[in-house]
Chain A
Amino acid sequence: MNPFLYRMAQTKIFWPLVALLVLLLLNFFLIPGFFSVEIKNGHLFGSLIDIMNRVIPLLIISIGMTLVIAKEGIDISVGSVLAISGALAAYIMESSTVWVALIAAVGVGIVCGMWNGVLVSIFEIQPMVATLILLTVGRGIAQLITGGQILTIDDELYKYIGSGFLMGLPFSIFIGGAIFLIMLYMKKRTAMGLFLESIGNNITASKFAGIQPRKIIFLVYTISGVCAAIAGIIVSANVSSADANNAGLWIELDAILAVVIGGTSMRGGRYFLGGTVVGALFIQTLSTTIYSVGINPQIVMVVKAFVVIIVCLVQSEQFRSIFMQFNKKKVSF
Chain B
Amino acid sequence: MKREKFGIKENHIFIIATMALIVLLYGYGSIAFAGFFSTQVFLNLFIDNAYLIIVATGMAFVIITGGIDLSVGALVALISMVSASLLEAGLNGFVVMALSLLIGIAFGAFQGYFIYRFDLHPWIVTLAGMFLARGASFLISTDSIVITNETYSAISQAKVYLFGDHYISIGAVVAIIVVAIAIYIAKWTRFGRNVYAIGGNVKSAGLMGLPVKRTTILVYVFSGFCSALGGVVFTLYMLSGYGLHLLGMEMDAIAACVIGGILLTGGFGYLIGPTLGVMSMGIIQTIIMFQGTLSSWWTKIAVGFLLFVFILLQRLIVMKRRKRNVIRLKKVRNNVKVQSPSQSVSSEYK
Contact = CB atoms under 8 A, between A and B. Distances in A.
A308 B341 CA distance: 31
B128 interface: yes
A137 B121 contact: no
A140 B297 contact: yes
Interface in A298-317: 298-306, 308-309, 312-313, 316-317
Contacts of B245: none
Contacts of B127: 253, 256-257, 308
Contacts of A148: 295, 297
Interface string B326-344: 0000000000000111100
Interface in A19-58: none
**Which label, helix, strand, loop or mixed, suits the secondary structure of the B interface?**
helix
B124 A312 contact: yes
Interface stretch (B5-13, B34-42, B146-154, B307-315): B307-315
Given A148-B297, A260-B124, A298-B142, A308 B131 contact: yes
A133 B251 contact: no
A266 B123 contact: yes
Contacts, number: 130
A308 B135 contact: no
Nearest to A121: B342
B156 to A, nearest CB: 28
Contacts of B315: 123-125
A308 B128 contact: yes
A309 B132 CA distance: 10
Nearest to A208: B339
A123 B339 CA distance: 16
Interface stretch (B112-120, B181-189, B271-279): B112-120
B300 interface: yes
B342 A203 contact: yes
A309 B125 contact: yes
A204 B341 contact: yes
Given A137-B300, A204-B340, A316 B118 contact: yes
B176 interface: no
Contacts of B168: none
A123 B309 CA distance: 12
B118 A319 contact: yes
A298 B138 contact: yes
Given A133-B304, A316-B120, A302 B251 contact: no
A144 B119 CA distance: 42
A10 interface: no
A215 interface: no
A317 B114 CA distance: 13
A96 interface: no
Contacts of A298: 135, 138-139, 142, 243
B134 A137 contact: no
B264 interface: yes
B136 A132 contact: no
Contact of A301 (B68, B131, B299, B339): B131
Contact of B128 (A309, A316, A318): A309
Most buried by B among A148, A249, A301: A301
Contacts of B303: 136
Given A148-B297, A204-B339, A302-B131, A312 B125 contact: yes
A135 interface: yes
Contacts of B134: 301
A301 B129 CA distance: 10
A126 interface: yes
Given A302-B131, A308-B127, A144 B297 contact: yes
B82 interface: no
Interface in B7-23: none
Interface string B230-246: 00000000000001000
B339 to A, nearest CB: 7
A305 B135 CA distance: 9
B308 A305 contact: no
B341 A266 contact: no
Nearest to B312: A123
A128 B66 CA distance: 13
B132 A301 contact: yes
B342 A124 contact: yes
Interface in A69-128: 74, 123-126, 128
B295 A132 contact: no
B254 interface: yes
Contact of A305 (B68, B121, B129, B339): B129
B248 to A, nearest CB: 9
A266 B335 CA distance: 34
Most buried by B among A126, A257, A296: A126
B301 A140 contact: yes
A133 B297 contact: no
B121 A129 contact: no
A187 interface: no
11 contacts: A124-B315, A132-B254, A133-B304, A136-B300, A203-B342, A266-B121, A299-B138, A301-B131, A301-B134, A305-B131, A312-B120
Interface of B: 68, 114, 117-121, 123-125, 127-132, 134-136, 138-139, 142, 243, 247, 251, 254-255, 258, 264-265, 295, 297-301, 303-305, 307-308, 311-312, 315, 319, 339-342
Given A132-B255, A136-B303, A303-B135, 12 more contacts: A126-B264, A128-B68, A130-B311, A133-B304, A253-B127, A260-B124, A302-B132, A304-B128, A305-B128, A312-B118, A313-B120, A316-B120
In the A-B complex, the 8 residue pairs with the smallest Cβ-Cβ separation, listed nearest first, are A137-B304, A298-B138, A301-B135, A140-B300, A302-B135, A305-B131, A305-B132, A308-B128
Interface of A: 74, 123-126, 128-130, 132-137, 139-141, 143-144, 148, 203-204, 207, 213, 249, 253, 256-257, 260, 266, 296, 298-306, 308-309, 312-313, 316-319
